Structure 1
């Protein structure tokens, strides 16, 4: 039996800010958590998220709705980076992640469009590593934009993950194998990166095995 923790009011979860500032807010009458990168870390694809407390996730489904805005002081290269981290270890030194770049989704530049979706594995396998190696398997396209709710879903089974956007029947990206392997476990994080004012709601976690 799957262990399903379905909570539409996101403030029922408990979060630990990791290099972020977080607060519960109300948008259109619904609770959401606002997450903004706080510490001036020098690299992209780092451990910058609101991390669920007392959760140890291995296999299952994580679904959430995200909304991304650019901060007033966002640099030119900001893309509205927002997504999920999962299997985060205790000291935040290793995890898997899937995020989106909403500014790229409807961009007229075909190259940027191909970079709308991103998988990375911290700490080694960042988007910069994949691009430097000419590896294109971990990016994809999606019809998304800033300041709109985007549905993200991650389905994890051992060393395989499928990433879905806005209720699509087919995964937008499939990763097989995950860089940290089939047996890694850990927490779940609401991920943002530089220049993003991120909002998250309707978080649903369904575990295929025992979860705290």
Structure 2
């Protein structure tokens, strides 16, 4: 994606963001969650507590339009207690897009639950409930050879002007590729957790594409 973007008149900039350091210098804006630092040698990041409703930790001064967002995340294999991912193009606490994972569905015995492993949403209009009801299985998919639902795994979310494409671990094939549903093409980046869910986040990297 990025080489093509450069050929079409785009340059890219890459930035690694130390979430642990951002927490210490108050570089985060937390909505409906309590964030605490992780001091693991490999995963110096943040942990968000479990709480009713959706929660987001917005990164200050990190607007994003096109490019990719990479992150290591850790949820848990507990039914309806683990929804975590990345929010982007955020305008405020209720208007944003997000890609998130449901680790408890990675290896569910129920084949219907397995296709609910990774999800794209565009709030406030396109919630997961609306998308599942009106365009079932289009904006959420199973993850082939999914990672350990109780362990850390790496995700890369590529965002163009029209599409979002999601990769997990080292799999070269996307686990989700869909058209963007929001009219906003720029906005804030945040760590996202769903209803009654917490999660762990580390090793955030943002690659931005900018036109020449």
Instruction: State the alpha-carbon separation in 1 of the partners of residues 14 and 111 from structure 2.
Output: 39
Please point out which of 25, 28, 31 is paired with 1:15. 28
Which residue number corresponds to residue 84 of structure 1? Answer: 86
2:155 maps to 152
Paired residues of 1:104 and 1:145 also in contact (CA < 8 A): no
SS of corresponding position for 1:208: strand
- Provide closer, same or farther for how the CA distance between residues 62 and 109 of structure 1 changes in structure 2, counting only shifts above 3 A: same
Give 3-state SS (helix, strand or coil) of 2:34's partner.
strand
Residue in 1 that maps onto 2:63: 56
Contact 1:103 1:145 in 2 (8 A): no
Query: Does the Cα contact within 8 Å between 2:76 and 2:104 map onto a contact in 1?
Result: no
Superposition pairs of residues 73-152 of structure 1, within 5 angstroms: 78-89=80-91, 91-142=92-143, 143-152=146-155
Counting helix residues as a fraction of each chain, which structure ranks higher? Answer: 2
Number of the residue aligned with 2:14: 4
Rounded Cα–Cα distance in structure 1 between residues aligned with 2:167 and 2:117 = 13
Residue 26 of structure 1 deviates from its aligned partner by: 1.8
Q: How far, CA to CA, are the matches of 2:157 and 2:42 in structure 1? A: 26
Structure 1 CA distance, aligned partners of 2:156 and 2:133?
Answer: 27
Question: Which of 140, 164, 168 lines up with 1:165 in the alignment?
Answer: 168
Question: Separation in 2 of the partners of 1:127 and 1:106?
Answer: 20
The TM-score normalised by the length of structure 1 is: 0.84
Residue correspondences, number: 195
Cα pair 2:75 2:151 within 8 Å, conserved? yes
**Cα distance in structure 2, aligned partners of 1:199 and 1:209:** 30
- Moved segments of 4+, more than 4 Å: none
**1 CA distance for matches of 2:84 and 2:35?**
14
Offset at 1:77?
5.0
Residue 198 of structure 2: SS of its match in structure 1? Answer: strand
CA RMSD between the two structures:
2.0
